[in-house]
Structure 1
Amino acid sequence: MLTGKQKRFLRSKAHHLNPIFQVGKGGVNENMVKQINDALEARELLKVSVLQNCEEDKGDIAEELSKAIGAELVQIIGNTIVLYKESQENKQLILP
């Protein structure tokens, strides 16, 4: 579980990132979860964009992704979800 200070730090790091995944009409599927998990292992911090044609609520999507991957939900801002998961091999971010 992340503290407020850690979330603030991660939000500042994620500010300059562009979303690299999009959740659309089909919602979250198993293949997407695997790809996001692999990307988190490489990057530790990433953004996921929820498209307007998505039928699910962005809060539900964020919760579903974070549980399926075992990642921490840093922030939901607009239609963008910020996820963090500590990398086992490529540790880049050192949390305060």
Structure 2
Amino acid sequence: MKLSGKQKRFLRAEAHDMSPLFQIGKNGLTEAMVGEFEESIQNKELMKVQLLQNTDWTTAEAAEFIEEHSDIQVVQKIGKVLVLFKPSDEEKYREYSSRLPKKNTD
């Protein structure tokens, strides 16, 4: 699912007051950690991940790694924080995807 600019703006606004659920530190980012993101995001749809100062990863590198190794989309990179989104497979957890603005079909 490719998000439109309007949909990304909606998700960024929804994530504004959230606190990061995960931190990427000196051990960096691994496929196992991305697997944990996928498990956690399954019933949340939207979450933040923070890169600590002692990591060698940049936000751009982390975003690219996450998108390459999962179906998670990076909605925003701001400072050392990433906002991640993935629609839930289960309808009861579709809090954000059910309220996403519709894409223009022009």
TM-score by length of 1: 0.94
Question: Unaligned regions of 5+ residues in structure 2, if any?
Answer: 102-106
Structure 1 stretches of at least 4 aligned residues deviating more than 6 Å after TM superposition: none
AA paired with 2:100? L
Report the number of matched residues: 96
Identical columns (%): 42
TM-score by length of 2: 0.86
Task: State which structure, 1 or 2, has the greater radius of gyration over its C-alpha atoms.
Answer: 2
CA contact (8 A) 1:66 1:83 kept: no
Measure how far apart 1:58 and its partner are: 1.5
Among 71, 76, 91, the residue aligned to 2:94: 91
Question: Unaligned regions of 5+ residues in structure 1, if any?
Answer: none
Of the structure 1 ranges 19-28 and 57-66, higher mean CA displacement relative to structure 2 is found in 57-66
Measure how far apart 1:63 and its partner are: 1.1
User: Secondary structure of the equivalent of 1:56?
Assistant: coil
Q: CA RMSD in A?
A: 0.9
Matches within 5 A, 1:11-90: 11-89=12-90, 90=93
Of the structure 1 ranges 26-35 and 51-60, higher mean CA displacement relative to structure 2 is found in 26-35
Query: Partners in 2 of 1:44 and 1:66 — Cα distance?
Result: 15
Query: Partners in 2 of 1:42 and 1:25 — Cα distance?
Result: 28
